[in-house]
Amino acid sequence: MKELKEALQSLIKLHDELVTLLQQEREALILFYPSEIERLAREKDMLLMKIRLFEEERIKLMDKITRINNYPENMTLSKLVEITGDEEYRELGLKLLSLVQSVIELNEFNKILVERSSRHVNSFLNFLENNGFEHARFNKTFKA
């Protein structure tokens, strides 16, 4: 059961890091820093891989606890608190749930920012095309 707490604590730490990255991404999107956006995307990918690994471990541990206790259905943290009387499982679950909700909200906000930025870039490209600029000439003249 100590392993489960460690997995939950690791998930909390990783989700907290993800919240921080998403906040940084929001700032980079608002200020339009493409290189920072790319760097943060790479960091997010690595972090999400770690989260998946710990989530798989958490699921395995919960399945093991279910089998050991001969439960007909999957074990939840609430049931685990009932069985063990250890309130720390509930606290860890609530912290993780709160962080997941923050990730969802930040991700939705960042998605809106990306969609708006994309519309602005497309509008600008349309403006250039409608005013006689060709993509090839534009790309040769204004390479980043």
The Cα-based distances of 82 to 34, 64, 71, 87, 118 in angstroms read 49, 17, 13, 9, 50
What are 66-115's pLDDT values in tens digits?
A: 998 888 888 899 999 998 899 999 999 999 999 999 999 999 999 999 99
Q: Domains in the chain, please, with CATH?
A: 2-141 (1.20.58)
| Residue 144: per-residue pLDDT | 44
Predicted TM-score (pTM) of the model is 0.83
The Cα-based distances of 124 to 119, 130, 131 in angstroms read 9, 10, 11
- Please indicate whether residue 48 or residue 71 has the higher confidence score (pLDDT): 48
Q: Are 59 and 4 in contact (CB under 8 A)?
A: no
| Beta-carbon-side half-sphere exposure of residue 27 (alpha carbons within 13 Å) | 7
What are 115-134's pLDDT values in tens digits?
A: 988 887 788 788 887 887 76
Q: How far apart are CA 115 and CA 118, in angstroms?
A: 5
